[in-house]
Amino acid sequence: MSTFWSGWIIVLTLTNLVLLFWLLMANRKRAVNTNDNGEAKTTGHEYDGIEEYDNPLPRWWFGLFLATFIFAAGYLFAFPGLGSWKGYFGWTSANQLEAEHAEAKATYDETFGEFAKMPIDQLAKNPEAMKMGSRLFLNNCAVCHGSDASGNFGFPNLTDKDWLYGGEPDRIKETIVLGRQGAMPAWGALLGEANVGNVVEFVLQGAGKEHDAAKAELGKAIFATNCAACHGADGKGNHLVGAPNLTDDVWLYGAATPEELGSTLRQTVRNGRAGVMPAHAETLKAERIHLLSAYVYSLSQDEAK
Ligand code: HEC
Ligand code: HEC
């Protein structure tokens, strides 16, 4: 702002204040005007029988007026308002924001830094840390895993003890940092539909579900040849490649009803699956990932699932 306009605004503002003050004082009355009979005089204005008195302002009201002048003078001295005068305290909204940021960051760094030094299994028992972890989870993970972390079709439940990649603190952290890519090959073309059906009956048998025993018998050899490498000879899965345990009743790609389970499993085996857990190394700071790892670890610890 040029000096001229700054000066112009200062003069305008101050003149206004002075004039208003003068107006207030010039019109000030102290005593009630009375007529010869000692009654309060009116201005002579009348409307519908209502007359206007000519009395002084109530004292408190006059006091309020004065207070606004004092406030205005104080404000214009302390804060920006008069042209380019920056105010006695040099306040700006930008540096207030900066100060608040710095304060928030300091407390954050302090708590996160303190938590970052604690081992994950210990951190998982710290209620304050878990409250922060839960908030981080809601912001970063709940879109896929659900706000209660119980997962959904294609998104694993993180509250049970059934792990694709392992539930040890360091494995969980590695999952979050690096991300994971499930790679279940498609077998439709290789095996043909009949054998896809047979191997699925074998999987259903292993999981203790209703199955066709004759087909399962045929599927057994197919499983040993094609599937055991990843899912294990016993079908219990492999944390190194994220191959799920097929012998429990926990399904990553499950079905709404038991009747539909067979057809969903056939679809998985026929077409393959490729679940992607995004890497968070770039998007989340190390201390936050540490806290999140502890939070995820804590979810499967409280209940004996
Ligand atoms: C875009 C969706 C998405 C987001 C966001 C996401 N995940 Fe995942 N997550 C997945 C999928 C899909 C898998 C399973 C990967 C697979 O099928 O191999 C997975 C797997 C995992 C696993 C491994 C589970 C197991 O059984 O081994 C953990 C732990 C995990 N996520 C934690 C998190 C955390 C913590 C966050 C938040 C920082 C997060 N995820 C954010 C989709 C997501
Ligand atoms: C190269 C390793 C590999 C081989 C070989 C393999 N799988 Fe998989 N399978 C996986 C992985 C990894 C997943 C998880 C996919 C994901 O996370 O999206 C999976 C998922 C599945 C699922 C879904 C489980 C669930 O919880 O929903 C079934 C069923 C399955 N495989 C059956 C088979 C059968 C039957 C064969 C043999 C014909 C087979 N797999 C061969 C790696 C393999």
| pLDDT, tens digit, 9 for 90 and up, residues 157-176 | 999 999 999 999 999 999 99
Q: Which protein residue has the closest C-alpha to ligand 2 atom 22? A: 268
Residue 283: which residues within 8 A CB-CB, separation 6 or more?
140
Q: What is the CA radius of gyration of the chain?
A: 38
- pLDDT band of residue 301 (cuts 50, 70, 90) is confident
Distance of CA 182 from the midpoint of ligand 2 (Å):
8
User: Would you say residue 303 has pLDDT above 60?
Assistant: no
Residue 304: band (very low, low, confident or very high) from pLDDT cuts 50, 70, 90: very low
Q: How many residues appear in the chain?
A: 305
- The angle at the Cα of 110, spanning 126 to 89, to the nearest 5 degrees, equals 140
One-letter amino acid identity for 142? Answer: A
Specify the residue with its C-alpha closest to ligand 1, atom 5: 141
Is the per-residue pLDDT at 226 higher than 60?
yes
Distance (angstroms) between ligand 1 centre and the Cα of 156 equals: 7
Residue 84 banded pLDDT, cuts 50, 70, 90:
confident
Specify whether the CB–CB gap between 130 and 124 falls below 8 A.
yes
Q: Which atom of ligand 1 is nearest to the CA of 137?
A: 37
pLDDT, tens digit (0-9, with 9 covering 90-100), for 232-284: 999 999 999 999 999 998 999 999 888 899 999 999 999 999 999 999 999 99
Q: Which residues contact 159 (CB under 8 A, 6 or more apart)?
A: 148, 149, 150, 299, 300, 303, 305
Give the per-residue pLDDT at 32.
76
Closest CA to 294 of 181, 167, 178: 167
Q: Please report the pLDDT score of residue 113 as a whole number.
A: 85
